[in-house]
Amino acid sequence: MYRETPHPIHLKDYRPPEFLIDRVELRFELDPECTRVESRLALRRNPAATRGDGDLRLHGEHLKLTQAAIDGHVLTPAEYRVDGEGLTLHRVPDRFSLETWVEIHPSLNTALEGLYQSGDLLCTQCEAEGFRRITYFLDRPDVMARYTTTLIADRTRFPVLLSNGNPIAHAELPDGRHSVTWDDPFPKPSYLFALVAGDLSVIEDGFVTASGRDVKLRIFVEPHNLDKGDHAMRSLKKAMRWDEERFGREYDLDIYMIVAVSHFNMGAMENKGLNVFNDKFVLAHPDTATDVDFDGIESVIAHEYFHNWTGNRITCRDWFQLSLKEGFTVYRDQEFSSDVGSRAVKRIRDVRTLRAHQFPEDAGPLAHPVRPDSYIEINNFYTNTVYDKGAEVVRMQAALLGPETFRRATDLYFERHDGQAVTTEDFVRCMEDASGRDLTRFRRWYEQAGTPELHIRGEYDATAGTYSLSVRQQTPATPGQPVKQPFHIPLAIGLLGADGHDLPVWPAGESEPPAPGTRLLELTEPEHSFTFTGLNERPVPSLLRGFSAPVRVHDDLSDADRMFLMAHDSDGFNRWDAAQTLHERLLLALTADAAHPIPEDYIAACRRALRDTTADRALLAEVLTLPSETYLSDQMTVIDVDGLYRAHRQLTRRLGERLRADLLAVHHDNAETGPYVFSPEAVGRRALKNLALAYLVRAGDEEGLALCRAQFEAAHNMTDVMAALRLLAEQGGAEADAALDTFHRRWAGESLVLDKWFSVQASAPRPDALERVMMLLKHPDYSARNPNRVRALVSTFSNVNQVRFHAADGAGYHFLVDRVLELDPVNPLLAARLLKPLVRWRRFDPERQTLMRAELERVLGGRDLSSDVFEVVSKALA
Catalytic residue numbers? 304
Of the pair 545, 833, the CB lying nearest ligand ARG is at 833
- List the one residue out of 381, 269, 391, 279 whose CA is nearest residue 330: 391
- List the one residue out of 783, 798, 791, 780 whose CA is nearest residue 855: 798
Is residue 491 a contact point for ligand ARG (CB under 6 A)? no
Task: Decide: 139 and 193 in contact? Cβ < 8 Å.
Answer: no
Of the pair 326, 622, the CB lying nearest Zn ion is at 326
Task: Decide: 256 and 216 in contact? Cβ < 8 Å.
Answer: yes
Distances from the Cα of 148 to the Cα of 179, 378, 390, 526, angstroms: 13, 28, 34, 55
The CB-side HSE value for 27 (13 A sphere, CA atoms) comes to: 8
CB of 846 to ligand ARG, least distance (A): 36
- The single residue among 127, 279, 362, 616 that binds ligand ARG, judged by CB under 6 A, is 127
- The single residue among 265, 278, 690, 795 that binds ligand ARG, judged by CB under 6 A, is 265
Which residues ranging from 329 to 358 are in contact with Zn ion (CB under 5 A)? 329
Of the pair 323, 475, the CB lying nearest Zn ion is at 323
| Residue 265 contact among Zn ion, ligand ARG, none, beta carbon within 5 to 8 Å by kind | ligand ARG
| Residue 332 contact among ligand ARG, Zn ion, none, beta carbon within 5 to 8 Å by kind | none
Is residue 251 a contact point for ligand ARG (CB under 6 A)? no
Task: Decide: 215 and 253 in contact? Cβ < 8 Å.
Answer: yes
CB of 103 to ligand ARG, least distance (A): 23
Q: What angle do CA 568, 571, 576 make, to 5 degrees?
A: 75
Tell me, what DSSP letter sits at residue 6?
A: P
- The single residue among 37, 68, 111, 128 that binds ligand ARG, judged by CB under 6 A, is 128
- The single residue among 31, 99, 270, 871 that binds ligand ARG, judged by CB under 6 A, is 270
Of the pair 219, 829, the CB lying nearest ligand ARG is at 829
CB within 8 A of 501, min separation 6: which ones?
Answer: 516, 568, 570
What is the distance between the alpha carbons of residues 815 and 834, in angstroms, rounded to a whole number? Answer: 11
What is the distance between the alpha carbons of residues 755 and 744, in angstroms, rounded to a whole number? Answer: 10
Q: Count residues near ligand ARG (CB under 6 A).
A: 16
What is the DSSP secondary-structure string of 781-826? T--TT-HHHHIIIIIHHHHH-HHHHT-TTSHHHHHHHHHHHHHTTT
Is residue 219 a contact point for ligand ARG (CB under 6 A)? no
Of the pair 326, 392, the CB lying nearest Zn ion is at 326
| Residue 17 contact among Zn ion, ligand ARG, none, beta carbon within 5 to 8 Å by kind | none
Site string for ligand ARG, 71-110 (x = CB under 6 A): ----------------------------------------
| Residue length of the chain | 878
Of the pair 195, 682, the CB lying nearest ligand ARG is at 195
SS3 215: strand
Is residue 382 a contact point for ligand ARG (CB under 6 A)? yes
Site string for ligand ARG, 823-852 (x = CB under 6 A): ------x-----------------------
Q: Count residues near Zn ion (CB under 5 A).
A: 2
Q: 409-446 burial, b if ≥16 CB within 10 A, otherwise e?
A: bbebbbeebeeebbbbebbbbbbbebbeeebebbbbbb
Of the pair 158, 320, the CB lying nearest Zn ion is at 320
CB of 267 to ligand ARG, least distance (A): 6
Is residue 135 a contact point for ligand ARG (CB under 6 A)? no
Is residue 676 a contact point for ligand ARG (CB under 6 A)? no
Piece of the chain touching ligand ARG by CB under 6 A; list 63-71, 194-202, 267-275, 403-411: 267-275
Strand partners, 255: 216
CB of 444 to Zn ion, least distance (A): 24
Piece of the chain touching Zn ion by CB under 5 A; list 86-94, 154-162, 324-332, 491-499: 324-332
- List the one residue out of 557, 543, 542 whose CA is nearest residue 497: 542
Helix, strand, coil shares, percent, the chain, to 5: 45, 20, 35
| Residue 178 contact among ligand ARG, Zn ion, none, beta carbon within 5 to 8 Å by kind | none
| Residue 382 contact among ligand ARG, Zn ion, none, beta carbon within 5 to 8 Å by kind | ligand ARG
Site string for ligand ARG, 308-327 (x = CB under 6 A): ------------------x-
| Residue 269 contact among ligand ARG, Zn ion, none, beta carbon within 5 to 8 Å by kind | ligand ARG
Q: Count Cβ atoms below 10 Å from residue 674 Cβ, excluding itself.
A: 7
- List the one residue out of 810, 811, 852 whose CA is nearest residue 835: 852
The CB-side HSE value for 669 (13 A sphere, CA atoms) comes to: 14
Q: Count Cβ atoms below 10 Å from residue 55 Cβ, excluding itself.
A: 13
Of the pair 387, 506, the CB lying nearest ligand ARG is at 387
Distances from the Cα of 654 to the Cα of 9, 596, 597, 605, 688, angstroms: 53, 13, 11, 14, 18
- The single residue among 82, 266, 589, 821 that binds ligand ARG, judged by CB under 6 A, is 266
Q: Which residues contact Zn ion by CB under 5 A?
A: 326, 329
Residues in contact with ligand ARG by the rule CB under 6 A: 125, 127-128, 265-270, 303-304, 307, 326, 379, 382, 829
